[in-house]
Amino acid sequence: MSTGTSPTEAVPDARPAASPRLPGPLRVGLARGWMEVREFAREWESVVFTFTLPSLVLLLFGVIFDGAFDADMPAVDFYLPGLIAMGLMSVSFQTLGVGIAVERDRGGLRRLRGTPMPPTAYFLGKTVLVLFLALAQLVLLMGVAALVHGAAMPRDAAAWATMAWVFLLGTVACAMLGTAASSLARNARTASGIVVVPFLVLQFISGIFVPIMVLPGWVVDVASLFPLKWMAQGMRAAFYPDQMRVLEPSGGWDLPMVALALGAWCVVGLVLTLATFRWKTRKDG
């Protein structure tokens, strides 16, 4: 009688079951981005404030200032490029600067960091949110300007291309700076003051509300240190007739300088984000 194990007898597998394969950062980031968009849409106060203010200012300026100054163009055409730049900075710098600070203060970032989600997926999700909001802001402002006031759009393919790269570089630069600025706030209550106050000052010194040609030279020099002035100048190059370039402080659109300044701010914003971003509040350690 044999006591050995038959070759055909089933042997239990003692090896541990393999862990399910987690989706990659790209897939997780895109899914999180869609979730961020839906969460933003549920907060109707944020939706109204973010999208209504630039369009309301455009409508008011188009009525109040039409024919009030000698710019050889309707007031809505004059203010539209600057208000587009302002709207893009609002949905990127302001939205992320305040929103991330609130998430950090409520412990949302600390809980996310404890999950298997890759950190890059979080930032990819924020990128999807900002690009979605920026595109919606652009379409809304151009739609209101064209349908209500019959505003002029970019004149040719080159002008549309200029608008596209200024849109992309400006939005990315402001999104990076907003993410970095969120780490300056000690809590959610102080985030609005840290983000909104400098943003409001930049709107007045960057040629958004006050025409760039009437600003003192030293004010324009200060504004040139920040991205909003270059975003507005690039948008004016896309929307204004070419002869309007003489109204710029340098007498030209200076598009290479616009690209260089916005590209530099993308790099600076990335470095600041990597150096300052925190998943926890200071009191959490």
Amino acid at 202: L
CA distances from 171 to 41, 58, 61 (A): 20, 20, 24
**What Å distances lie between residue 213 and 2, 79, 220, 235, 240, CA to CA?**
103, 13, 9, 16, 14
pLDDT tens for each residue of the chain, 285 residues long: 444 445 445 555 556 566 667 678 788 888 888 999 998 888 888 788 888 888 999 999 888 887 766 667 888 999 999 999 999 999 999 999 999 999 888 888 888 888 888 888 899 999 999 999 999 999 999 999 999 888 889 989 999 999 999 999 999 999 999 999 998 888 778 888 889 899 999 999 999 999 888 899 999 999 999 999 999 999 999 999 988 998 898 889 999 999 999 999 999 999 999 999 888 776 666
Contact 141, 86 (CB under 8 A): no
Q: Do 49 and 95 meet the contact criterion of CB atoms below 8 Å apart?
A: no
Q: What single-letter DSSP state applies at residue 3?
A: -
* Residue type at position 11: V
